[in-house]
Structure 1
Amino acid sequence: MSTVMWILPVISAGIGWVTNYVAIKMLFHPRKPINLGLFTLHGVFPRRKETLARRLGVIVEKDLFTPEMIVDKLNTEDNKAKLKTAVMKRINEFVDEKAVQFGPMLQMFGGDAIIDQIRTGMEKSVDDMIPKLMEDIGSNITSISIEQIVYEKVMDFSDEKFEDLLMAVIKSELTFIEIMGAVLGFFIGLVQVAILMMQ
């Protein structure tokens, strides 16, 4: 058997790998359309960026990150407690500041006792306010279009950034496709050799 027949599987593997490599590159390149007369050469993803951005926005809003999901995550007892703690911290800082500023006057009306009453009253008001505040936050969140936010964010990406984003998700799969191109090409080469040997 000639040397050419022996290297045929290797050549086929190389062709398979190069073919898949070029096809994958053409998913992203050229980033800008190139008019070749009969047709225009333009990477699949750059050409369909707007469509992909819109579809991604729909998927994120409907299946991954709905406004209702955000509201449910926020409207928990733990988050309410954290919000109350944050609000009371600011209130206490304000009360302490005014207590120093109006100390002599407050002493005339009971001093520390009146300050404690103010704190207690404010804490009760905060307890009543938190559920309403969470409800208002939820109403504002549900009015936000996550789909539009995702769409605008993706459209703001440069072509390079958009490619990096997609590659971060599918790089290993694309590498697998390249390798499989070489493997399949090699086996096709072996089949060709077997056919030639039978002649």
Structure 2
Amino acid sequence: MELKLLLMPLIGLFIGWGTNVLAVKMLFRPHRPLHILGINFQGILPKRRTEIARKIAETVQDELLSIHEITRIFERFDIKEHIDTAIEELVRNKLKNRILEKIPMLAPMVESLLPKIQPAIVEELYLQAVQIKKAMIEQIHDEVDIAEIVVEKLDLYDLNEFESLILKVAQKELRHIEVLGAVLGFAIGSIQALIIYYL
């Protein structure tokens, strides 16, 4: 009798652990529906993959990385310095060299004019670049759908890769579920043993 009472918590432990291990496995397996005695069995993730991918994508878009955040970063980029450097390169080196190659006599005039026209060119190109940047931001808002990009990427994963991705993220939590099953099974087995012992 005492051996039976001692075995009850251990049996409960293995039942609790085993059922939770099976439940975790059934999140992912079987990939294709199995028909047993008229009942269909399929893992939750394979069965609801599209819906899960859509929910992950919506969460990424709404909570983690919205298109507004991306364009706000893009808006902060200072392009004036880049334009200034590019114009400096263009005017000082390329334009000056081409003019002087064709008409060497204009060297003194080119040297005196370049410092005067360069700031005007930089300012005009900067204003044009700001307009282009605004148009690009509007186009990004209209045409880029973060959720759709994430769904497309997740759809590219086959079921084994999708399973690996989920396990990589939730391995620790899934292991805790298995251990919790063992602890609860042991506790229930212990309670049963105590009830039997005292009855």
Aligned pairs for 1:77-92 (under 5 A) are: 79=77, 81=78, 83-92=79-88
Query: Secondary structure, in 3 states, of the residue corresponding to 1:30?
Result: coil
Aligned CA distance change for structure 1 residues 106 and 120 (closer, same or farther; 3 Å): farther
- What CA distance in whole angstroms lies between the structure 2 residues aligned with 1:65 and 1:154? 16
Q: Which residue of 2 aligns with 1:149?
A: 149
- Residue segments in structure 1 that go unaligned for 5+ positions in a row: none
**1:28-177 equivalences in 2 (<5 Å):** 28-76=28-76, 79=77, 81=78, 83-95=79-91, 96-104=93-101, 105=103, 108=106, 110-143=109-142, 144-177=144-177
Contact 2:5 2:197 in 1 (8 A): no
Deviates more, 1:180-189 or 1:163-172: 163-172
Partners in 1 of 2:99 and 2:31 — Cα distance? 68
* 1:23 equivalent in alignment to 2:35: no
Match of 1:2 in 2: 2
CA distance in 2, matches of 1:154, 1:128: 40
Work out the CA distance in 1 between the residues paired with 2:23 and 2:105. 82
**SS of equivalent residue, structure 1 residue 40:** strand
User: Percent identity of the aligned residues?
Assistant: 27
Distance 1:53 1:107 in 2: 69
Alpha-carbon separation, structure 2, partners of 1:107 and 1:167 = 74
**Compared CA separation, residues 107 and 168, structure 1 to 2 (3 A):** farther
Q: CA deviation at 1:160?
A: 1.9
Structure 2 regions of 5+ residues with no counterpart? none
TM-score, structure 1 normalization: 0.86
Alpha-carbon distance between aligned partners in 1 of 2:104 and 2:31, rounded to the nearest angstrom: 71
CA distance in 1, matches of 2:120, 2:139: 28
Number of aligned residues: 195
Q: CA deviation at 1:169?
A: 2.6
Structure-2 separation of matches of 1:181 and 1:170: 17
Partners of 1:37 and 1:107 in 2: CA distance? 97
Q: Which deviates more, 124-133 or 147-156?
A: 124-133
How far is 1:117 from its partner? Answer: 3.4
Asked if the contact 2:17/2:179 (under 8 Å) is kept, the reply is yes
